Amino acid sequence: MNEHVALLTRESHCACFRRVAPCRAYVERLKAAGRDVGLTEYPGVRHVFDGRAFNPQLTLPKAQTLCHCRLAENDLGQVINADTRQPFRHADACVERGATIGYDEKATADARKAVAAFVAETLKPAR
């Protein structure tokens, strides 16, 4: 299933070109570690879903995507390819070409509401 999502968390970011499963797993790991994190999925949206300039959608055949790359951070703080255990390179076999970006009015409105609610809740005065 080609499940594209945008991820809005309270702590981190998961690349929008990626499928949702790695993002879900990441959020679950953060929750298990006691972090305050949530996942909002917008099925079917594309990267730059809040960019009105990308309506209609734009296909970028040469754009690099990491949808099939499993990345991790090693003890030295380097991003590594989890399959090869070597420092990640954009020449790795998991890197693919071709992406579509595009605006989604409903997802944009929903995300703006979610961000506004988060900011209001986070910054509300203590009683």
Q: What share of the chain is helix, strand, coil (3-state, %, to 5)?
A: 30, 20, 55
Q: Per the domain annotation, does 71 fall within a domain? A: yes
Structurally, the chain folds into a number of domains equal to 1
Tell whether 66 is covered by a domain: yes
Q: Is the pLDDT of residue 15 over 60?
A: no
pLDDT band at 10 (very low <50, low <70, confident <90, very high): very low
- Collapse the DSSP code of 101 into the 3-class scheme (helix H, G, I; strand E, B; otherwise coil) and give the result: strand
Mean pLDDT value of segment 97-117: 93
Residue 37 within any structural domain of the chain: no
111 — pLDDT class (breaks 50, 70, 90): very high
On whether residue 40 sits in a domain, the answer given is no
Question: In angstroms, what is the C-alpha Rg of the chain?
Answer: 17
Q: At a CB cut-off of 8 Å and minimum separation 6, what does 64 contact?
A: 90, 95, 96, 97, 99
Helix (H) or strand (E) holding 60: strand 58-65
5/124 Cα distance (integer angstroms): 29
| Residue 108 maps to a domain | yes
In three-state secondary structure terms, 27 is helix
33 in a structural domain: no
Is 92 among the domain residues? Answer: yes
Judge whether 23 lies within some domain.
no
Domain that holds residue 107: 48-123
Query: Averaged over 87-94, what is the pLDDT?
Result: 97
32-36, 49-53, 120-124 — most confident range: 49-53
What's the rounded Cα separation, in Å, for the pair 120 and 123? Answer: 5
How many Cβ atoms sit within 10 Å of the Cβ of residue 85? 9
